[in-house]
Chain A
Amino acid sequence: GENVEQHPSTLSVQEGDSAVIKCTYSDSASNYFPWYKQELGKRPQLIIDIRSNVGEKKDQRIAVTLNKTAKHFSLHITETQPEDSAVYFCAASRNTGNQFYFGTGTSLTVIP
Chain B
Amino acid sequence: GAGVSQSPRYKVAKRGQDVALRCDPISGHVSLFWYQQALGQGPEFLTYFQNEAQLDKSGLPSDRFFAERPEGSVSTLKIQRTQQEDSAVYLCASSLFTGTSYNEQFFGPGTRLTVL
- A residues bordering B, Cβ < 8 Å? 4, 6, 31-32, 34, 36, 42-46, 49, 51, 89, 91, 93, 95-105
Known: A46-B104, A96-B99. 12 other contacts (CB 8 A): A31-B101, A34-B103, A34-B105, A43-B108, A44-B43, A49-B104, A89-B43, A97-B56, A100-B45, A100-B105, A102-B44, A104-B42
Interface residues on B, range: 20 to 34
- B residues bordering A, Cβ < 8 Å? 4, 31, 33, 35, 40-45, 48, 55-56, 59, 91, 95, 98-101, 103-110
In the complex the two chains form, what is the Cα distance from A83 to B45 in whole Å? 28
Q: Which residues of B lie under 8 Å from residue A97 when comparing CB positions? A: 48, 55-56
Cβ B101 vs Cβ A100 within 8 A: no
